[in-house]
Amino acid sequence: METNLPLPLDRAAAEGSAASVLRAVGETAREGVGTGAARGREEGAPLDISFLIPGEPKGKGRHRSRIAKMGNGKQFIANYAPKDTVEYENLVRMAASDAMDGRAPSELPVLVEMVATCSVPASWSQKKRHAAIRGEVMPTGKPDLDNGLKAVLDGLNKIVVKDDAQVCRVGMSKQYGERPGVFVRVVELHARPAR
């Protein structure tokens, strides 16, 4: 059976499960495949990029509020994002911008694949460490996978996509690995936007 799914999804489609899709994406991330601009750079070709955000995966922090004063002495509540969230989203923007290589942001529906690779805690035994690298022990602590996705999607805004509301399909997983980072792939879907 022939499929039109983009790699690495087409490798897993034959196996027929969402787990196999994420396993294929995870293997791609572990191998470091596709960590730069990928297929689809030719004019008119569908967007299909992948990139790696180096360092420990981070989740989007909650916005904070503080009381601030205006020049005339009046007070108001100012909302702001935590500094580490702003810095991480800027890192995502830089990696995405490099992968886009000057291409305009997509206006079509897209699929986003994300594999967060966390480093193994240094305090673990060699046996537990090897089990974690093989995927027998999973990272069930922070960062939450959904918060990590939110930080990545916000970093893609106006660089890879006009708005992250265009993300219609998501595949994501969290794993341990030798080199921490977040592998991201964005692929235009063969569909029209609603508006």
- Domain CATH number, residue 117: 3.30.1330.70
Dig out the tokens for 57 from the structure: 């995966």
To which residue do tokens 């999973």 refer?
A: 138
C-alpha distances (whole Å) from 170 to each of 109, 152, 179 are 11, 12, 23
Domain residues for the domain of 84 are 34-188
Q: What does the buried/exposed string (b/e) look like for 165-186 if buried means 16 or more CB atoms within 10 Å of the residue's CB?
A: ebbeeebbbbbbbeebbbbbbb
C-alpha distances (whole Å) from 47 to each of 96, 105, 107, 109 are 12, 9, 10, 11
Mean pLDDT within 173-182: 94
d(CA 166, CA 118): 28
5 in any annotated domain: no
Looking at the 3D structure of the chain, how many domains does it have? 1
Most distant CA pair in the chain, distance: 71
> Is the pLDDT at 104 greater than 50, yes or no?
yes
Question: Model pTM?
Answer: 0.72
120 in any annotated domain: yes
105 in any annotated domain: yes
159 in any annotated domain: yes
Mean pLDDT within 94-117: 95
pLDDT at residue 97, as a whole number? 94
7 in any annotated domain: no
d(CA 173, CA 117): 9
pLDDT at residue 15, as a whole number? 38
At residue 137, φ and ψ (nearest 5 deg) are -125, 130
Contact 188, 46 (CB under 8 A): yes
Better-scored residue on pLDDT, 54 or 191 = 54
Helix (H) or strand (E) holding 127: helix 126-133
Mean pLDDT within 94-101: 94
21 in any annotated domain: no
To which residue do tokens 């750079």 refer?
A: 41
195 in any annotated domain: no
Mean pLDDT within 170-184: 95
pLDDT at residue 75, as a whole number? 80
Better-scored residue on pLDDT, 44 or 37 = 44
194 in any annotated domain: no
